[in-house]
Amino acid sequence: MAKSLYLGMDEKSARRIGIREDQLISGKQTEMLRIERDFLTYSDGIPGKYSVSVSNIHDRLDVKYCLSGNGAKVPHWNALGLKVIKLGNVLKRMKDRGERVEEDETYQLLQVTYGGEVVEGELKDGSELSYSKLFRVKEWDVLLSNMGVGRGAVGIVPSFHNGRWVSNEYTILRASSKEEAIYYVTLLRTKEILADILAFGTGMNRGRIKWSDVSSIEVPEYNGNVYKKELRPVDFEDFWKAYSRITEIRGSQKAMLADRLKLEDEEAELRWLAHKPPE
């Protein structure tokens, strides 16, 4: 088996990730020659990085899984004297947050961006939801998108979203401390760990990745003596307070202008609803 980056990539996709046209062309040529050379060497019975152990192909045959390279940095971490642990040992899944959806209740859903921000999603009445159960989050939860985690969609729930809701397309986790939440979320959003996560994705079912797989990924354990000065929860909490304050100011400014200028009276509401595209 052989991995490739450039072969099969079009110019538009290359531009999106910062690869110039000349890099794309030369990269394709280099990869093609390397894969041809490796195949001929393999055909001569010479083992190499392209050889796949039989034990790796019992369940799956896709290249990224069979040649995943997961745990490649473990020797480096060991050389630094760091203890290596599995994510499932330090981030605990919160399984008891589910509540039955009530038709006459309104639910503010949350989502996680690829940039790692937990933001408001749709505001839905229970009668509009296809889910029979939603899950309530708490501040400082680690929220992981089952569909988007491989692209960085994992973040920390801020205080102003405390008590809001996510569907079963999200996994709610909890670290032992605020500092550890910052540390492990930051690790989860690095290229090395994201590559480890993506190795589990099949490409089917919209790329959903299970926590049971992510929990087995190895990372250096948090060391408070080393990172205490850099990973400060108060920095997050100060930002959350400032964000809440500016949101409050925006709301009061809008209410003042709308009231004085009659911009959100019943007539305006009816016009907006009549012009609004159907959902």
Q: Write the class of the CATH domain 84-227.
A: alpha beta
Distance CA 27, CA 55 (A): 31
Residue boundaries of the structural domains of the chain: 11-51, 84-227, 233-275
Q: In the predicted model, what is the mean pLDDT of residues 175-191?
A: 95
**Residue 199 confidence (pLDDT):** 82
Q: Look at residue 171 and tell me whether its pLDDT is greater than 90.
A: yes
**Residue 279 confidence (pLDDT):** 63
Q: In the predicted model, what is the mean pLDDT of residues 41-53?
A: 90
- The predicted-structure confidence for 73-121, as pLDDT tens digits, reads as follows 999 999 999 999 999 999 999 999 999 999 999 999 999 999 999 999 9
What is the value of pTM for the model shown? 0.81
Task: Pick the closest to residue 34 from 51, 55, 54, 50 (CA basis).
Answer: 50
* Residue 205 pLDDT class (50, 70, 90 cuts): very low
Residues 6+ positions from 87 with CB-CB distance below 8 Å:
184, 188, 214, 215, 216, 217, 218, 219
Distance CA 212, CA 209 (A): 9
- R_g over Cα of the chain: 24
Task: Pick the closest to residue 160 from 247, 251, 233 (CA basis).
Answer: 247
Q: In the predicted model, what is the mean pLDDT of residues 119-144?
A: 95
* Residue 54 pLDDT class (50, 70, 90 cuts): confident
